Amino acid sequence: MKLNELTIKEAAEKLAKKEITSVKLIQACLARIKEADRKVRACLAVCEKEALIEAKKADERRKKGEKGILLGIPYLAKDNILTKGVKTTAASKILENYIAPYDATVIKKLRSAGAVLLGKTNLDEFAHGASTENSAFGPTRNPWDISRVPGGSSGGSAAAVAAQMCIFALGTDTGGSIRYPAAFCGVFGLKPTYGRASRFGLISMTSSTDVPGPITKTAEDALIVLKAITGIDKNDPTTIDEQLINSAPILRANKLKGIRIGLPKEYFIDGMDDGVKKTIEKAIEELKKLGAEFKKISLPHAKYGIPVYYIITPSEISSNLARFDGIKYGLSLADGGLIDIYKKTRGQGFGPEAKRRIMLGTYALSAGYYDAYYLKAQKVRTIIKNEMDEALKKVDCLLTPVSPHVAFKIGSKSSDPLKMYLEDIFVTGASLAGLPAASIPCGFARPKDGSEDMPIGLQLIGGRFKEEVLLNIGRIYEEKAERAKRKINMKI
């Protein structure tokens, strides 16, 4: 196995035993980026010089006797997460040359743990999208089939992990933006509970649902990263000092006996691709063999998740993107009066999807429409949240598909915004409710056009601050279930 193909756990063990050095590990990942990213285009920036300096420091720290599971481990970060001294563009022309003056809290925590930043990954502009086609710097491609999307908006991070460019990556999830690309790229993605990890230093999209989280090769690795990035932060008043608590002993014994999993009927809809449906059904049978009990439940208001999300999200986007005005920072087309500067800067700096969401949000918040749209959407959101909370009192988690189909062809849906918004059909509920949710690779299915099989993910949604239940179920499923594990062959 090549060094860049190691998991966090495997790499940490080899570093601790002095079988490898961090410098060699970083060099392997950098070499893979140079080899693979010509076609995948997952990275917007690569910090080769800086990464090697940090790797040498990590090796020196180990020589002095310092220990740490993330010490010297290389990772990539989504480019809407601030990184001091490194460009942070949010994949937008309006921030094309912006260099962050400080680190986001999650980056600061990873630096403290000794993790080494390799660079920044592509995304839909300001995280507005589900395919990573909306980037001002071009789309990222799915490493399993470069004619297909990797999902979004954390598509660059998911594609980089799948293509073995890094040991793990950071993404952000607002309405599925970690889980969706993780499913399309066949890797593990975790959206933590809202408030679990600090949002300070994230370029805000929808402040009431934005959450940073890990994209990894295994569930166990996701827990390692989660432990490193979580905790209360005085710069983010939504963070909560809630400790990660070990799950029930029955899970630690590598069994699922006694675990109750809910199957919401509203998530198993007509129109789902047969291959996806069969793969999810097979995963359910495998979980049953491991001892899990399944219970059919109903979430009658789940169907309102998409309309609610696409009222609240553009409304908060309209407010959050108002700061990019050509005056404070970023692109400034300073020619003429103040209004002219605003119009020129925002007109040329924002892409079509960002403009669309700003206009939709401004309309929903405007006088005469606020009560009819935004206020009503928030009331329905509360109903969705309460409904999911009640269901999770009866079961340990919920199981759903992540997507009704496998990754689609680049350009096949980009001309129809409504189709793209409907891509979030299974993932918005957990975000609106602020619940933890994970995408777990569960197999492969053939696209309708008959081309090569593509990865599929199943989604587990847990109770508030119950990430470890999801991660332990994922870990046991990965270890015990009989499912195809295939290597990506990009022929490059």
**Given 22, 78, 413, 439, which residue is catalytic?**
78
Task: Report the pLDDT averaged over residues 85-93.
Answer: 97
In terms of pLDDT, which residue wins out, 334 or 178? 178
Task: Report the pLDDT averaged over residues 57-76.
Answer: 97
| Share of the chain residues as helix, strand and coil, in percent rounded to the nearest 5 | 40, 15, 45
What tokens appear for 158 in the block? 């998911």
Query: How much is the pLDDT for 485?
Result: 62
Tell the residue number behind the tokens 């590598």, with chain if given.
254
**Given 92, 131, 177, 247, which residue is catalytic?**
177
- The strand pair at 188-191 and 454-462 is best described as unpaired
Instruction: State what percent of residues in the chain have pLDDT above 70.
Output: 96
Query: How much is the pLDDT for 271?
Result: 87
| Known active-site residue 92 | no
Long-range contacts of the stretch 52-57 (C-beta < 8 A, 24+)? 52/23, 52/26, 52/27, 54/26, 54/116, 54/117, 55/21, 55/22, 55/23, 55/25, 55/26, 55/116, 56/22, 56/23
29, exposed or middle or buried, with CB in 10 Å at 0-12, 13-18, 19+? Answer: buried
Task: Report the pLDDT averaged over residues 385-396.
Answer: 98
Query: How much is the pLDDT for 249?
Result: 45
Task: Report the pLDDT averaged over residues 419-439.
Answer: 96
d(CA 311, CA 305): 10
Is the dihedral angle over the CA atoms 159, 123, 25, 17 positive or is it negative?
negative
Q: For 330-362, b where at least 16 C-beta lie within 10 A, e where not — what string?
A: bbebeeeeeeebbebbbeebbbebbeebbebbb
Lowest mean pLDDT among 54-58, 108-112, 199-203, 417-421: 417-421
> Which CATH architecture fits 1-492?
Alpha-Beta Complex (3.90)
Task: Report the pLDDT averaged over residues 430-443.
Answer: 97
Query: How much is the pLDDT for 335?
Result: 78
Over 70: is that where the pLDDT of 205 sits? yes
| E-state strands within 160-259 | 168-173, 188-191, 211-216
pTM (2 decimals)?
0.96
Task: Report the pLDDT averaged over residues 386-406.
Answer: 98
Phi, psi of 333 (to 5 degrees): -95, 75
Cβ-based neighbours of 141, under 8 Å, separated by 6 or more: 39, 40, 41, 147, 148, 149, 150, 159, 410
Helices (H) and strands (E) in the chain — how many of each? 16, 11
401: nearest Cα among 289, 488, 273, 300: 273
Is the dihedral angle over the CA atoms 248, 254, 258, 259 positive or is it negative?
positive
Secondary structure class of 273 (helix, strand, coil): coil
Total residue count of the chain as it appears in this document? 492
What tokens appear for 332 in the block? 């400034």
In terms of pLDDT, which residue wins out, 491 or 22? 22
- The strand pair at 116-121 and 397-401 is best described as unpaired
Q: What does the pLDDT look like over 360-386, one tens digit per residue?
A: 999 999 999 999 999 999 999 999 999
Split at pLDDT 50, 70, 90, the class of 251 is low
**Given 22, 92, 131, 153, which residue is catalytic?**
153
433: nearest Cα among 297, 300, 309, 265: 309
Task: Report the pLDDT averaged over residues 416-425.
Answer: 91
Query: How much is the pLDDT for 254?
Result: 65
Over 70: is that where the pLDDT of 489 sits? no
Query: How much is the pLDDT for 250?
Result: 47
Split at pLDDT 50, 70, 90, the class of 9 is very high
Query: How much is the pLDDT for 480?
Result: 80
| Known active-site residue 64 | no
Split at pLDDT 50, 70, 90, the class of 237 is very high
d(CA 311, CA 424): 14
Q: For 408-433, b where at least 16 C-beta lie within 10 A, e where not — what string?
A: bebeebbeebeebbebbbbbbbbbbb
Q: What does the pLDDT look like over 443-470, one tens digit per residue?
A: 999 998 888 999 999 999 999 999 999 9
Give yes or no for a contact between 427 and 384, defined as CB atoms under 8 angstroms apart: no
Query: How much is the pLDDT for 334?
Result: 78
Task: Report the pLDDT averaged over residues 277-306.
Answer: 96
Split at pLDDT 50, 70, 90, the class of 194 is very high
Over 70: is that where the pLDDT of 355 sits? yes
Split at pLDDT 50, 70, 90, the class of 252 is low
Number of other residues whose CB lies within 10 A of the CB of residue 38: 10
Chain-wide mean pLDDT for the chain? 94
Give yes or no for a contact between 103 and 83, defined as CB atoms under 8 angstroms apart: yes
| Known active-site residue 153 | yes
Lowest mean pLDDT among 16-25, 118-127, 339-348: 339-348
d(CA 52, CA 47): 9
Task: Report the pLDDT averaged over residues 330-340.
Answer: 87
Question: Which strands form 116-121's sheet, in the order they lie side by side?
Answer: 43-46, 116-121, 74-78, 168-173, 211-216, 188-191, 437-445, 454-462, 397-401, 260-264, 293-297
Give yes or no for a contact between 170 and 78, defined as CB atoms under 8 angstroms apart: yes
Over 60: is that where the pLDDT of 39 sits? yes
Q: Which residues pair with 168 in a beta bridge?
A: 75
Query: How much is the pLDDT for 483?
Result: 57
